[in-house]
Amino acid sequence: MPHHGNEAEHSEDERGAREGDEQRKPVIRDNRKVDPETGAARHPQGEAHAEGGAASTEGDALSQAEEILNGVEVPAEESVAPGAAAEAQAAELRNDLLRLQAEYVNYRKRVERDRAVAGEMAVIGVLNSLLPVLDDVDAARQHGDLEGGPFAAIATKLENALKTYGLERIAETGVEFDPTIHEALIQQPGEDIEVDTVSQVLRSGYRSGERVLRAAQVIVAVPA
Low-confidence ranges of the chain (pLDDT < 70): 1-82
Q: Is the dihedral of CA 78, 84, 90, 96 positive or negative?
A: negative
Q: Is the dihedral of CA 102, 107, 110, 115 positive or negative?
A: negative
pLDDT in tens, 189-202: 988 888 999 999 99
Reported pTM:
0.52
pLDDT in tens, 88-109: 888 888 888 888 889 999 999 9
